C-alpha cells in the first residue's frame, strides 16, 4: 500500500509540473499556438545560425587581423633590421674601403721606392690599429691562409685562426659583408657581430672591419623608415609603433619621443609586460592624449634584441568588430523580415483552419438551436475539407433522423390525443349517463322510499325508521353520483367556462374538507381550446385532491394568470402542507397522470415541494378555441 501511494504521489508531482504554463498553452487559440511554435522554432534556428555565423566570422576576423598585425609587425621588424643592416654595412664598408685606399697609397710609395716594404707594412699596421669601431669594434688583417697579420692583440699576430668558420668564409670570399656569432674569452654569451672585408691583393691581406651589432644603434637613422611605419593603418585609427627599452616612443603617431615610464598620466604596465614577454599578443584599454575615452585594442608585438626595441602593430577592437555589428544589424533586419513573413504565413495558414472551425461551431450552435439545415462549404481536399464533408453527412443523417423522429412523435401525439379525446368523450358520456339516467332513478327511488317511510310511520310500523335510513343512504348516493358526474363531466366548464370550473373545484373541496381556498384569476385567461381546458381542469382537480388527502395543509391557493411578456398561461396550485415526494414510489399515479396530461397539451409541468408546502405549476402558450 505504501509503495502504491508513493508512486501515485510521484505521478501527480510529475503531472503537476508547470501547471500554469500547461493551462496557458491549452487555453491559447490555434493560431497563437501555431505562432508560438513557429516563433520558437524560428527563434532557436535563427539564434543558432546567427551564433554560428557570428562566432565563425568573429574568429575569421580575429585571425585575419592578428595575421595582418603579425605580418605587419614582422615587416616592421625586418624593415628596422634591414635599415640597421644597410647602415652597418655602409659604415663598415666605408671604413674598409678607406683603409684599402691607405694601403694602396702606401703600396704606390713602395713601388716608387719612396718607402720600403717593411716600413709600409709597419705604417699600415699603425694606421689600422689606431682606428676603433663603436665601443669595442676594431680592424685587423689576415693573410690568404688564415694567418693574423695585424690585430690589436699582439699575441695573436702570426697565429693561424683558420679553425673558425667565419675565418674560412673570409678566406673564401676575401671581400664583402659577413655576420656571425662571437664570444670573447672573458664573455659568457654569444653576441651578433658584423664584419666587412676588403682584399688587398699586393700583400694578400684581407682587411676586416668588425664590431658588435648592438653597438651600431647610433648609426640607425629612424627617419629612413619612420614615415613608412607611420603610414601603416589598421582599421580607422589602428597604427604601428616602436618603443625602446627606456620606454621612449621611437616611432608613434601621437606620443613621438614621449617616455611612458616617466609620464604618470599614461599607463605603463602594458609596455612593461611587452618588454618582459618580448613577443606575443596583448589586449588592453588605451587612451591617447586628446581622445575622449579609452578603447580596447589588440597589439601584436616583437622584440629586436640588438637594439632592445619593441616593434608593434595595433588595432582597436571596436573597429575590428565593426563588420560584426553590421552583420548583427543585417541579421536583425533579416530576422524581423522573416518573422513578419512567418507571422503573415502563420496567420494565413491558421485562418484556413480556424475559419472553418468557427463556421463549424456556428453551424453546431445553429443545430443545437434547432436549425438542422446548416451545412459547411467544402472547397479543399485537406483534413478541414474532409471534416466539412463529414459534418454535412452527419447533418444530413441527423436531419433525416430528426424528421423521422418528428413524424413518429407527431403520430404518437396524435394517437395519444385521440386516445385521450376518446377517453374524455367516454368520460363525458359516462358522466352524462350518471347525471341524466342514474341520478333520476336514484332520486325516484329516494322519493318512493320517503313515501314508504311516511306510510309506515302513519301505521306506526317499526320499519319506518329503517325506511328513513334507506332514504338517507339514497340521498347520499344521489349526491355522490352527482359529484362523480361532475368529475367525469364538469358542467361548469362546459357551461360557465374554465375559471368558473376552477372556482367550483375550490368550493366543492372547501365544503367537504374545511380547508381554506383562495382563487386568483386574471381576466380573459379562460379563452382556451376545450380539450386543453379539460386537461388543465383535471390537473387542477388532481392537484387539489392530492393536497387535501396527503399534504396536511390548511390553505390552498389556485392561481391562473397570463404573462404579459410572452403571453404564456400559468396555472399554479399551492399548499402550505408538509410536502410530497416528487418521485412516486409506484403506489400512486396521480403525479404521472398530471405530467402526462400536461405533455398532451404541450405544457410545461413542474413540481416545487418542500417542508413548507408544495406548488404544482403548469405553463403553456394559449390555444384559441
The whole-angstrom separation of Cα 249 and Cα 270 is: 14
The whole-angstrom separation of Cα 100 and Cα 112 is: 18
Q: What cell was used for 507? A: 368550493
Q: Which CATH class is domain 495-625?
A: alpha beta
What pLDDT does residue 1 have?
A: 40
**Average pLDDT of the residues of the chain:** 81
The whole-angstrom separation of Cα 211 and Cα 217 is: 12
Q: Is the pLDDT of residue 142 over 90?
A: yes
Q: Which of 142-151, 477-486, 531-540 has the lowest average pLDDT? A: 477-486
Residue 313 CB coordination number (10 Å):
27
End-to-end CA separation in angstroms for the chain: 73
Q: Which residue has the higher pLDDT, 584 or 204?
A: 204
Place of cell 575615452: 293
Mean pLDDT over residues 21-36, rounded?
68
Name the nearest CA neighbour of 513 among 484, 551, 477: 551
CATH for 222-320, options being 3.30.450.20, 1.20.1050.40, 3.20.20.70, 3.40.50.300: 3.30.450.20
Torsion of CA 114, 116, 119, 120, to 10 degrees: 70
Alpha carbons within 13 angstroms on the beta-carbon side of residue 205 total 24
Q: Is the pLDDT of residue 141 over 70?
A: yes
DSSP letter for 434, please: I
Q: Is the pLDDT of residue 587 over 50?
A: no
The 10s digit of each residue's pLDDT in 511-536 is: 767 889 999 988 777 655 777 888 88
Rounded to the nearest 5 percent, the helix, strand and coil shares of the chain are: 60, 20, 25
User: CB within 8 A of 122, min separation 6: which ones?
Assistant: none
Geometric angle at alpha carbon 104, from 99 and 105, rounded to 5°: 95
Q: Is the pLDDT of residue 555 over 60?
A: yes
The 10s digit of each residue's pLDDT in 52-91 is: 877 887 777 777 777 877 888 888 888 777 877 888 888 8
The whole-angstrom separation of Cα 251 and Cα 56 is: 35
- Per-residue DSSP letters for 213-246? GGGGGGG--GGGTHHHHHT-EETTTEEEEEEETT
Return the exposure string of 588-619: e unless at least 16 CB atoms fall within 10 Å of the residue's CB, then b.
Answer: eebbeebbebbebbebebebebeeebbbbbbb
Mean pLDDT over residues 368-378, rounded?
77
Place of cell 467544402: 378
Cα dihedral sign, 209-211-213-216: negative
Torsion of CA 585, 586, 588, 591, to 10 degrees: 70
User: Are the beta carbons of 240 and 314 closer than 8 angstroms?
Assistant: yes
Q: What cell was used for 234? A: 589598421
What pLDDT does residue 424 have?
A: 67
* CATH number of the structural domain 26-211: 3.30.450.20
Each domain of the chain, given as residue ranges in start order, spans 26-211, 222-320, 332-401, 402-489, 495-625
Residue 527 CB coordination number (10 Å):
14
The whole-angstrom separation of Cα 271 and Cα 284 is: 11
What pLDDT does residue 169 have?
A: 92
Mean pLDDT over residues 360-383, rounded?
78
The whole-angstrom separation of Cα 623 and Cα 45 is: 72
User: pLDDT-derived band of residue 4, with 50, 70 and 90 as boundaries?
Assistant: very low
The whole-angstrom separation of Cα 35 and Cα 42 is: 10
Mean pLDDT over residues 558-567, rounded?
86
User: pLDDT-derived band of residue 6, with 50, 70 and 90 as boundaries?
Assistant: very low
User: Are the beta carbons of 196 and 176 closer than 8 angstroms?
Assistant: yes
Using alpha carbons, list the distances in angstroms from residue 581 to 112, 218, 585: 165, 127, 8
Q: Which residue has the higher pLDDT, 568 or 589?
A: 568
The whole-angstrom separation of Cα 511 and Cα 503 is: 12
User: pLDDT-derived band of residue 25, with 50, 70 and 90 as boundaries?
Assistant: low
Identical fold between 26-211 and 495-625: no
The 10s digit of each residue's pLDDT in 91-130 is: 899 999 999 999 999 999 999 888 898 999 999 999 999 9
Amino acid at each position: 500500500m505504501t509503495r502504491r501511494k508513493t508512486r501515485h504521489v510521484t505521478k501527480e508531482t510529475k503531472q503537476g509540473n508547470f501547471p500554469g504554463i500547461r493551462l496557458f498553452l491549452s487555453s491559447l487559440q490555434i493560431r497563437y499556438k501555431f505562432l508560438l511554435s513557429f516563433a520558437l522554432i524560428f527563434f532557436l534556428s535563427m539564434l543558432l545560425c546567427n551564433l554560428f555565423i557570428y562566432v565563425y566570422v568573429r574568429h575569421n576576423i580575429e585571425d585575419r587581423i592578428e595575421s595582418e598585425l603579425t605580418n605587419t609587425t614582422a615587416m616592421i621588424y625586418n624593415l628596422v633590421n634591414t635599415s640597421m643592416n644597410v647602415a652597418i654595412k655602409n659604415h663598415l664598408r666605408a671604413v674598409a674601403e678607406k683603409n684599402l685606399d691607405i694601403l694602396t697609397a702606401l703600396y704606390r710609395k713602395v713601388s716608387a721606392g719612396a718607402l720600403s716594404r717593411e716600413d709600409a707594412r709597419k705604417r699600415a699596421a699603425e694606421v689600422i690599429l689606431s682606428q676603433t669601431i663603436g665601443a669595442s669594434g676594431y680592424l685587423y688583417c689576415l693573410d690568404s691562409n688564415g694567418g693574423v697579420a695585424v690585430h690589436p692583440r699582439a699575441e695573436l699576430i702570426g697565429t693561424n685562426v683558420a679553425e673558425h668558420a667565419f675565418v674560412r668564409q673570409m678566406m673564401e670570399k676575401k671581400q664583402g659583408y659577413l655576420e656571425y656569432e662571437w664570444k670573447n674569452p672573458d664573455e659568457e654569451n654569444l653576441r651578433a657581430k658584423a664584419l666587412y672585408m676588403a682584399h688587398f691583393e699586393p700583400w694578400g691581406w684581407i682587411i676586416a672591419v668588425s664590431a658588435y651589432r648592438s653597438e651600431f644603434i647610433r648609426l640607425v637613422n629612424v627617419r629612413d623608415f619612420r614615415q613608412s611605419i607611420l603610414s601603416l593603418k589598421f582599421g580607422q585609427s589602428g597604427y604601428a609603433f616602436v618603443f625602446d627599452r627606456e620606454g621612449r616612443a621611437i616611432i608613434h603617431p601621437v606620443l613621438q619621443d614621449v617616455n611612458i615610464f616617466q609620464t604618470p598620466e599614461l599607463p605603463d604596465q602594458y609596455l612593461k609586460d611587452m618588454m618582459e614577454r618580448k613577443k606575443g599578443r596583448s589586449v588592453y584599454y588605451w587612451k591617447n592624449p586628446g581622445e575622449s575615452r579609452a578603447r580596447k585594442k589588440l597589439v601584436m608585438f616583437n622584440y629586436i634584441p640588438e637594439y632592445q626595441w619593441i616593434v608593434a602593430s595595433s588595432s582597436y577592437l571596436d573597429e575590428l568588430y565593426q563588420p560584426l555589428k553590421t552583420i548583427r544589424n543585417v541579421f536583425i533586419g533579416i530576422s524581423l523580415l522573416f518573422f513578419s513573413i512567418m507571422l503573415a504565413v502563420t496567420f494565413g495558414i491558421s485562418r484556413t483552419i480556424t475559419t472553418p472551425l468557427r463556421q463549424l461551431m456556428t453551424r453546431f450552435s445553429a443545430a443545437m438551436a434547432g436549425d438542422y439545415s446548416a451545412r459547411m462549404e467544402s472547397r479543399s481536399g485537406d483534413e478541414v475539407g474532409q471534416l466539412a464533408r463529414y459534418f454535412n453527412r452527419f447533418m444530413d443523417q441527423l436531419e433525416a433522423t430528426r424528421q423521422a423522429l418528428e413524424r413518429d412523435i407527431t403520430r404518437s401525439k396524435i394517437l395519444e390525443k385521440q386516445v385521450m379525446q376518446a377517453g374524455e368523450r367516454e368520460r363525458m358520456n359516462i358522466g352524462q349517463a350518471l347525471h341524466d339516467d342514474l341520478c333520476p332513478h336514484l332520486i325516484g327511488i329516494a322519493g318512493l322510499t320517503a313515501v314508504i317511510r311516511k306510510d309506515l310511520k302513519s301505521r306506526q310500523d317499526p320499519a319506518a325508521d329503517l325506511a328513513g335510513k334507506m332514504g338517507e343512504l339514497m340521498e347520499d348516493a344521489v349526491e355522490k353520483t352527482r359529484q362523480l358526474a361532475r368529475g367525469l363531466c364538469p358542467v361548469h366548464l362546459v357551461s360557465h367556462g374554465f375559471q368558473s370550473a376552477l372556482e367550483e373545484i375550490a368550493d366543492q373541496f372547501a365544503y367537504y374538507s374545511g380547508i381554506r381556498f383562495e382563487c386568483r384569476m386574471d381576466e380573459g385567461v379562460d379563452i382556451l381550446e376545450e380539450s386543453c381546458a379539460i386537461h388543465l381542469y383535471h390537473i387542477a382537480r388532481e392537484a387539489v385532491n392530492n393536497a387535501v388527502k396527503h399534504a396536511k395543509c390548511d390553505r390552498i391557493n389556485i392561481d391562473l394568470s397570463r404573462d404579459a411578456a410572452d403571453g404564456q398561461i400559468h396555472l399554479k396550485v399551492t399548499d402550505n402542507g408538509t410536502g410530497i415526494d416528487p418521485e412516486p414510489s409506484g403506489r400512486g399515479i396521480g403525479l404521472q397522470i398530471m405530467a402526462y396530461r400536461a405533455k398532451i397539451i404541450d405544457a410545461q409541468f413542474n413540481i416545487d415541494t418542500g417542508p413548507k408546502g408544495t406548488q404544482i405549476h403548469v405553463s403553456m402558450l394559449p390555444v384559441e378555441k
